[in-house]
Amino acid sequence: MKNTIRFSVFFMLLTFVVSCACMKDKNTISGKVVAVAFGKDGYTAKINTAKNEVYFATISTVNVGGPQNYKQLKEGEEVSLKGEIWKTETENHIKVKEIVSVK
């Protein structure tokens, strides 16, 4: 009985770890900056991905963890961004938590 419980707990823990590892990539987008619109607390960058998807990336100092992590993206740059993704009926959005890379 104890072995069955231990095996069940181990299996559930392993399933949880694998599912969390797979979710990381779903919160990351990469693409080219095609437009930048400045707002009150940051800016929104329009990103075109390699799959021809368009994302509107909201980037602010607060959301990226402070001024040391904040970067101002420019049109033409290739970027990789990590954050919370959501979709409306016609648009894809990401609230950026981390600017992974800028080229």
DSSP state letters, the chain: -HHHHHHHHHHHHHHHHHHHHHHHHHTEEEEEEEEEEE-SSEEEEEEEETTS-EEEEEEETTTTTSTTT-----TT-EEEEEEEEEE-SS-EEEEEEEEEEE-
Write the pLDDT tens digit of every residue in 57-91. Answer: 999 999 999 999 999 999 999 999 999 999 999 99
Write the pLDDT tens digit of every residue in 32-43. Answer: 999 999 998 899
Confidence band, pLDDT 50/70/90 cuts, at residue 21: very low
pLDDT attached to residue 22: 47
Encoding tokens for residue 93? Answer: 């959005």
Domains and CATH numbers, the chain: 28-102 (2.40.50.140)
pTM: 0.74
Distance CA 5, CA 2 (A): 5
